[in-house]
Amino acid sequence: MISRRDFLQTSMAAAALLGTSGFGSWARLAAQQALSQDQLLEFDTFGNVSLIHVTDIHAQLKPIYFREPSVNLGVGPNKGEVPHVTGADFRRLYGIDDGSPAHYALSSGDFAALAAGYGRVGGLDRVATVINAIRADRPDALLLDGGDTWHGSYTCYHSQGQDMVNVMNALKPDAMTFHWEFTLGSDRVTELVEGLPYAALGQNIFDAEWDEPAELFKPYEFFERGGVKIAVIGQAFPYMPIANPGWMFPEYSFGIRDEHMQQMVDEVRAEGAELVVCLSHNGFDVDKKMAGIVTGIDVILSGHTHDALPEPVQVGDTIIVASGSNGKFVSRVDLDVRDGRMMGFRHKLIPIFSDVITPDAEIAALIDEQRAPHAEALAEVIGRTDGLLYRRGNFNGSWDDLICDALLTRREAEIALSPGVRWGPSLIPGQDITREDIWGVTSMTYPEAYRSEMTGEFLKIVLEDVADNIFNPDPYYQQGGDMVRTGGLGYKIDISKPQGERITDMTLLATGEAIDPARNYVVAGWASVNEGTEGPPIWDVVEEHIRNLGTVSPAENTSVTVTGL
Amino acid sequence: MQLSRRNVMIMGTGAFVAFGLPMSANAKGEDEIAAFTGGAEMADTGITLTAPEIAENGNTVPIEVSAPGATEIMVLALGNPVPPVATFKFGPLAASQHASTRIRLAGTQDVVAIAKMADGSFAKASSTVKVTIGGCGG
């Protein structure tokens, strides 16, 4: 079906993207000279259909820094498989030179130095330029948004997603699926979805009361492009009411529902679809498993777990494309569809180097318009960092260490818990920390920083429960986030063990004493999924803390010891 | 001041049940199965059990069973204090041998469905349903 030759074409496209020479210098000037917009966009148009995939933008309208994880462990069948390969191992796997633009865009290691050279990434005005260039090659290319778009910034919070809807509408997507959007609450989601000029898809979005497909979201949409009848099937995040507060959208039920996915694939094939695309917010490992169970999907455009892969992963006759997060990448997938079958593909993951790609003037003006009412609040400098602040990693990140410190200090707690979310841009050493930066890692509709008591025994249950959501060997039982971050609490984790046996040696760091199962500990945290949570919003807690510190100096975090790799 | 103490205790209780699954509960389920099948071998095809991988609400978990040609389908939640959930009986005029309902699960456990076929043979399907505290999605 997909010949070896077509796979080689893909690899060659990736090699062209990655480049092999001249990118060794870390100087910004060198980066700009070596890397051109034409080079980033270079693509021999192939076949008769083009797909453009963006996903997990998390409301990042402007260019940002974003450090990819150095710790992203796979378990079970995914141990050592992409996307669970990081840093130098990742570069070796894909033949990426150290210090090259691809190193900076796709992997961790030397991040601060490379960021100083290559500059910021993303910005929807740059993304617009890339989309326009692809549309110049292929005017009827399909633009598909994998969701997590209407969440994650100061302006998105204050406009209840309107800023993102306005800018995305101007990019003219053809379809979208969902996750964090639902945390705007069902009423707001209904209002925004009803006004969308493109398809809102989710075959797994069900009415909770009747357990039948929800009326507001279609399972799929047909498109005629390049003479090909294409079906795009949506797959929303399966565990919305579990990972996020279900009480905010009680009308809806989700789940993977792969048997219903198979029904939808069979239905669209019966109606003459020659190409079946799944626009998914499952997360990469779940998509991989689903691709092995559901037959008849040609392309899965994968979102949720924020992985950026320079080549698609093939499972049977299905290719899975992972397009990163935070506006950092755009994927272009050209397909040759003939006689009702996908005969070949050519793919390129295009990194959005913001200093290299010219912003689209119209979208840039539209973005400025969304931000103008908040300009002063966004730009206010709260403090400064002399180290790297980042979030991604299975167990901790320096942003979360800072948030946990803020909770311990401002909420006078012994232990802090911070959710293992994967969104939020990075800051490089020497940068000012603005209010916008703080909101970039804290913005959400359930931000209350609670202060409570938990027994040692219950803390262990929390850690075991969350660990199983990441390290259950069956991807269908994973939720796609990272481990809950702890402040004031150290522990050992053996990721190869079953639930209940992974966490040992829990220690109260302040005293070095073992956590007593029977004792009550004062715990501060945020982002509780429980209704009625009380406390000041986390961004206020973090802002006060940074203001008091003046300059933030992130230290290495050694509180978690990982075994069973 | 959330995660009120009461909520924490509720969560704690639910989770304790999940983790403290007594082995005797499984054994109890085995007894029910033996009584239903008379100890006969069970095929692993011929019956489909559809259940969520992770329950959105452990108090009301939608499940579906389907076994063409069955006269009875028994459903058990092996980790519940009382494992038998329901037995559906299909008469000769039943158009399909299919049923759906919602069940309550005390914690993470296996849900099992066993069909008794018209020819007296048996088929079994099983699905692990996780009941979790919930928390942090990417």
Cα A211 → chain centroid: 28
Tell me the average pLDDT of chain B. 83
**pLDDT category, A35, cuts 50, 70, 90?**
confident
Query: Strands, DSSP E only, in A274-391?
Result: 275-280, 299-302, 313-315, 318-322, 329-338, 341-351, 381-385
* Three-state SS at A30: helix
User: What pLDDT sits at residue A33?
Assistant: 57
Name, in order, each residue with C-beta under 8 angstroms of A501's C-beta and a sequence gap of 6 or more: A494
CA distance A355 to A357: 6
The amino acid sitting at A559 is S
Give the sign of the dihedral formed by CA A17, CA A22, CA A23, CA A27: negative
The arithmetic mean of pLDDT across residues A64-78, rounded, is 97
The arithmetic mean of pLDDT across residues A206-221, rounded, is 96
A437 close to A427: Cβ distance less than 8 angstroms: yes
A520-560 per-position pLDDT tens digit: 999 999 999 999 999 999 999 999 999 999 999 999 999 99
DSSP bridge pairs for A121: A64, A353
Shortest CB distance from A461 goes to which of B12, B53, B130? B12
Asked if B54 has any chain A CB less than 8 Å from its own CB, the reply is yes
- Which of 3.50.30.20, 3.60.21.10, 3.20.190.10, 3.40.605.10 would CATH assign to domain A4-369? 3.60.21.10
Cα A418 → chain centroid: 17
- A444 pLDDT higher than 50: yes
- B22 pLDDT higher than 90: no
Q: CB distance B4–A452 less than 8 Å?
A: yes
The arithmetic mean of pLDDT across residues A321-345, rounded, is 96
The DSSP bridge pattern shows strands A489-494 and A503-508 to be antiparallel
User: What pLDDT sits at residue A3?
Assistant: 41
What percent of chain A lies above the pLDDT cut of 70? 94
Give contacts of B62 with chain A, Cβ < 8 Å.
211, 253
Selected for mutation to probe chain A from B53, B126, B131 (highest A CB count within 10 Å) is B53
User: What pLDDT sits at residue B27?
Assistant: 61
Q: Chain A residue closest to B8 (CA)?
A: A454
More confident of the two residues A175 and B26: A175
A527 close to A444: Cβ distance less than 8 angstroms: yes
The arithmetic mean of pLDDT across residues A373-391, rounded, is 98
The arithmetic mean of pLDDT across residues A78-83, rounded, is 97
**DSSP of A231-273:** EEEEE--TTHHHHTTGGGSTTEE----HHHHHHHHHHHHHTT-
pTM: 0.91
- A32 pLDDT higher than 60: no
User: What pLDDT sits at residue B29?
Assistant: 87
Strand order in the sheet with A415-418: A450-455, A520-525, A415-418, A485-487
The DSSP bridge pattern shows strands A228-235 and A275-280 to be parallel
Cβ within 8 Å of B, A 117-136: none
What is chain B's length? 138
Q: How far is CA B84 from CA A28, A550, B42, B127, in A?
A: 68, 62, 18, 15
Hey, where are the domains in chain B? 5-129
- B38 pLDDT higher than 70: yes
**DSSP of A127-138:** HHHHHHHHHHH-
The fold of the A380-563 domain, in CATH, is 5'-nucleotidase;  domain 2 (3.90.780)
CA distance to partner chain B, nearest, from residue A87 (Å): 21
Query: Strands, DSSP E only, in A340-441?
Result: 341-351, 381-385, 415-418, 432-434
Number of C-beta neighbours around residue A215 at 10 A: 8
The arithmetic mean of pLDDT across residues A97-120, rounded, is 95
What is chain A's length? 565
User: What pLDDT sits at residue A284?
Assistant: 98
Hey, where are the domains in chain A? 4-369, 380-563
User: What pLDDT sits at residue B135?
Assistant: 61
Asked if B13 has any chain A CB less than 8 Å from its own CB, the reply is no
Architecture in CATH for domain B5-129: Sandwich (2.60)
Q: CB distance A211–B7 less than 8 Å?
A: no
Give contacts of B52 with chain A, Cβ < 8 Å.
255-256
* Three-state SS at A36: coil
B122-132 per-position pLDDT tens digit: 999 999 999 98
Question: Rounded to the nearest 10 degrees, what angle do helices A398-410 and A538-549 cross at?
Answer: 90
Lowest mean pLDDT among A409-423, A490-504, B120-134: B120-134
Q: Chain B residue closest to A500 (CA)?
A: B19
Shortest CB distance from A534 goes to which of B2, B16, B54? B2
Q: Chain B residue closest to A242 (CA)?
A: B134
Asked if A536 has any chain B CB less than 8 Å from its own CB, the reply is no
Tell me the average pLDDT of chain A. 93
CA distance B4 to A222: 48
Strand order in the sheet with A212-213: A212-213, A206-207, A252-253
Please give the torsion angle defined by the CA atoms of residues A430, A436, A440 and A445, in that order, rounded to the nearest 10 degrees: 150
A444 close to A153: Cβ distance less than 8 angstroms: no
B69-122 per-position pLDDT tens digit: 999 999 999 999 999 999 999 999 999 999 999 999 999 999 999 999 999 999
CA distance to partner chain B, nearest, from residue A146 (Å): 13
Q: CB distance A283–B138 less than 8 Å?
A: yes
Task: For residue A369, give both structure tokens.
Answer: 């318009």
- A15 pLDDT higher than 80: no
User: What pLDDT sits at residue A10?
Assistant: 41
